[in-house]
Each structure stands twice: as C-alpha cells, then as structure tokens.
Structure 1
C-alpha cells in the first residue's frame, strides 16, 4: 500500500485540471503518471511512497504548478476520512465577517473592519479586540441583527456539501466561532451541523449592552472544544478535520490530524497541513478521498 495520496484540485468549469498539470507534477516528483480521478477535469489522486514529508511534497507540487489555479494537498493514505469536523464560521463557511456586517449596518463599519483585519492577521489579541468592537456597537437593536442575518450573510460554495457529506458518512460536525451564537445557531441549522458554539451577546430590553458573556470564546476555547469532543467520542486527534481562515483558528488547526486553511491569512497557512487558495470547501472532501459521486448535495 502506498503511504501518501497527493490530491490535485481544479474547477471543471473555470479552471479544469488537465493532463498537462498532472504530467508536470509527476515529472517533478519522479513518479508514474497514474491519476485516480475523483471528478472528471476537477480532482484526482496520485498515490506515492516518498521519503519527503507531506508538506515537503506539497511545496514541491505547488512550485511546479505556479501560475495555475490548481490546489494541491498531500495526506497519509491511512485514516484519510475524518470522523470529526470542526469548522470556523466567518469567512470560512460564510462569505462575510458577521461583526463587520453589523458594524456597517450600525454605521461604525470602518472602525470595526480595521480591528477585524488586524485580528485575522494575528496582530492583536482576539479577546481584547472583540471587547473593543462590542463597545462600538453598544445600543444596537436586536432587530438589526435579524436583518443582517437575513439580508447580508451568504453561504460559501461547498459548505453545505462538505457538512452534509461528512455527516452522511458518519462524521460529527460542529461549528465553532469567535463570532456570535446568534449567528452560529442559524448557520449551523442551515448547513446541517450537529452543534455550534459562539460568543453570547448581552441584551437589555432588546438592546446590545456593548458586552459579551465572559470568558470570550477565542483560539484557546476552540482547541478546548476540539479536545473535549475527542474525549467524549473516543476519537484520536488524527481523526479530526479542522478548517478555518484566520489567526484565531491556529491552535485547532495545529492540533487536528488534518488542519486546512481555506482562503486564509498567511499566519494560518504557515501552520496548516493543507491550504486551499482557489477551490471551494468541497476540496476538503477530495482531500479525504471522496469521489464526487459520493457527495451529498441535498
């Protein structure tokens, strides 16, 4: 049995995976051109034994595919399919940062976004940044949150397919966010997660007080939730898939057997086992060896 699976991922409609891409990779790695297609013109596995680590293989492949819109990830063939999915929410399974959208709706968008950008890059402490942003939104009516959810938030491509497919094949799926449970509960139900965790907003008579319940759910809490779930379900860290986009996800991405950074900050990509720059969240299914015919899209 080969020890590693190298997965190449394109987009059949906009950036098809071509034989030329595969040949270029195989030449670089000095392996036979023997693709196992997961989806025609979109994704394939190349099985190999290599003295290189998965990250070293991926780096060589990315160099050989420079200038293309093809993603690549190398994983161990043993235990490819994970039994626990733990996912961030903002800019991971939805296209927006909820707190930025709230800021825009309340008229303090630029101030909020400046802090959010620094948080994603890992330049400032998440908990303190959240408290500062909450103070800027003191006095917001709860109805405004409802309108932001209804009118401003959109689901990322592949998100529902990822959750539904992993759930169908027996994985436990949880949405864990440094954002707000007001949104995680709704997004979780919409996508089919088994559970969700987020920060609790504090209201008085339907008005935001400018605070959240302590302690703030940040990067340490995400890791704690991951570890507690593994203990509860008798799982090893190797059986976990974690996905996120920002510095607040670093600890859970590092701990998971497969930590994936999706359209992510450089600080997260540096510690991830794999990162997706071009594709959508369905890429995480290909990385686990799922054939497109096994995707659940209902």
Structure 2
C-alpha cells in the first residue's frame, strides 16, 4: 500500500482534495507540521497507477509529489548517501574555482554538459581540472569561505537523521578540499572525493588517483551499505547529475534533488520545489 506525499511552500486545500480524488485517498494528514520549512501532506491510501495524472497536476500547481510505501519510517533508514555539488551545497565548486582563474564560462559549460549526461564525466573532469593549472591553492579556501553555502533544508535533514542513528556518506565527483571540511563541519560519517594535485602551493591541473565517477559513486554506496548490514530499502541517496544515476538506482529511496531533466525522469523520487528537508516529508 502507498501514500501520496505532496510538498511545496504552500499547498491549497482544494488541490489536496482534488489529488485525494485522483488517487482514491480517504485521508489527508499534515506531515511533520512546523518541523519543515514548507508544507507537506500525505494522502492515504493512494493508487500509484494514477502517477501520470498526479505528475501532470503537480507540475501545473508547482508541487513536489512522491508515492511512498505506507508506513515508511525514518528510523528504518540506516544510511544517507549524497552528492556534494548542487545537492548538499548550492554551488558547483569547480565552476567557482574556475572563476578565480577567469575561465568560469568555459568550465561551467563543460560542467553543465557533463551533468546532463552529454559528456563522459571522467574525461570532462580531467579536462576542466587541466584548465586550473597554476591557480594558487589559496583560491580553494576563498571558494569555501566566500561562496559555498549549504542547500536549504540540509542541516534539518542531517539533524533528524542523526537523531535516529543514521550514517552518512558524502560521495562527490568534486574535491576532497571541500568534502573534508564539510565532513568535519556537519559530522558526516564518511566522505569520498577526488584529490587535486598541488605543487609549490599551486594546482598542477591534475587529479591524484582514481577519479570518482558514476560507477565509483554507486560502488561506494553499496560497500558502505553492506558494511552496515542494510537492505537497499534502508538507504536514501541524493543527487542531481547524470553521474549520480547509478547511485540513486542502488538505493531504496533514490531522490533527484533539483536535478537535470534527464536525471529527474529516471529517478524514482524527485524534489524540485522544496529543500533537502523535503526528504523527511516521505517518512512518518
């Protein structure tokens, strides 16, 4: 049995009633009222066969929706795996680093094509990093201190997850300079990312070791899931780019967060209108 979860900054009562009619729900209940930065409601029970009609309605109304197994509880979740750039944080770090080099438009264009799945991620990363050669390492700190911001709702989600003993994995195609700082700041269990080579205080334009690509992201999730003895349905994964799709597919709750259209279309769940605290709306 399923429930339909509807989330947005504001949700009109008449729209909830219309959606309840669409899915055959007999009950409409507010979810985590006052604990989220937006409104969330569950309609239950809900017929997932009406997904297309619900998707059309919610697209017009500006609502996020999800058909979630009835009785899903956050206390059953043992692991949250998340991408960093444009998921846990609002920026693409490599684009902002490139801005320090005066080449943000060129690098950002490559980033966008890679995230849409139009370019091989590994090759595009190496090409972008090569353009950063000669940049002082100090520029990375400037990006972290001046430009990096957490995605709205991130701290609310992580705090709630921590209360139920959920472990966290930050797995990024970005760089350890940022993931290590975020891990310490947010108390994340594990962080994996690419290592930028530095010589004489400047970036060499090379990455040290294996590139964290789509396959590596999924493999790291599976490895940690197995270490913890969890089933896939006890795992949440969050991401926005094409290189996150295998990771999202390996989790019971694979959620596309403000994602590219191609990613949103393939993910089981999606958040577009609300912040990362919208994940909590799925769970009683």
The superposition leaves residues 78-104 of structure 1 with CA deviations (integer Å, 9 ceiling, x where unpaired) of: 544321100000000111000000001
The superposition leaves residues 205-252 of structure 1 with CA deviations (integer Å, 9 ceiling, x where unpaired) of: 211111111210011111111111111110111111001111010001
Give the aligned partner of residue 6 of structure 2.
Answer: 8
CA contact (8 A) 1:160 1:192 kept: no
Query: Distance between the aligned counterparts of 1:70 and 1:123, measured in 2?
Result: 28
Instruction: Go from structure 1 to structure 2 and tell me whether the alpha carbon gap of 1:165 and 1:139 turns closer, same or farther (over 3 Å shift).
Output: same
Q: CA RMSD in A?
A: 1.5
Q: Which segments of 5 or more consecutive residues in structure 1 lack a partner in the other structure?
A: 290-298
Instruction: Give the alignment partner of residue 44 of structure 1, picking from 21, 38, 41.
Output: 41
Give the aligned partner of residue 233 of structure 1.
Answer: 228
Instruction: Give the alignment partner of residue 73 of structure 1, picking from 63, 66, 84.
Output: 66
Q: Which runs of 4+ in 1 moved over 4 A?
A: none
TM-score (norm 1): 0.89
User: 1:58 deviation in Å?
Assistant: 3.7
Give the aligned partner of residue 292 of structure 1.
Answer: none
Query: Distance between the aligned counterparts of 2:59 and 2:180, measured in 1?
Result: 40
User: 1:49 deviation in Å?
Assistant: 5.4
CA contact (8 A) 2:24 2:45 kept: no
Give the aligned partner of residue 268 of structure 1.
Answer: 263
Give the aligned partner of residue 106 of structure 1.
Answer: 101
Query: Distance between the aligned counterparts of 1:230 and 1:65, measured in 2?
Result: 33
Residue 19 of structure 2 is aligned to residue 25 of structure 1: yes
Instruction: Go from structure 1 to structure 2 and tell me whether the alpha carbon gap of 1:6 and 1:203 turns closer, same or farther (over 3 Å shift).
Output: same
CA contact (8 A) 2:22 2:50 kept: no
Query: Distance between the aligned counterparts of 1:150 and 1:62, measured in 2?
Result: 39
Query: Distance between the aligned counterparts of 1:154 and 1:58, measured in 2?
Result: 34
Query: Distance between the aligned counterparts of 1:58 and 1:256, measured in 2?
Result: 21
| 3-state SS of paired residue (1:153) | coil
| 3-state SS of paired residue (1:278) | coil
CA contact (8 A) 2:4 2:46 kept: no
Query: Distance between the aligned counterparts of 1:172 and 1:79, measured in 2?
Result: 18
Query: Distance between the aligned counterparts of 2:160 and 2:187, measured in 1?
Result: 10
TM-score (norm 2): 0.94
Query: Distance between the aligned counterparts of 2:216 and 2:270, measured in 1?
Result: 23
User: 1:278 deviation in Å?
Assistant: 0.7
Give the aligned partner of residue 177 of structure 2.
Answer: 182
User: 1:19 deviation in Å?
Assistant: 1.3
User: 1:166 deviation in Å?
Assistant: 0.7
Q: Which segments of 5 or more consecutive residues in structure 2 lack a partner in the other structure?
A: none
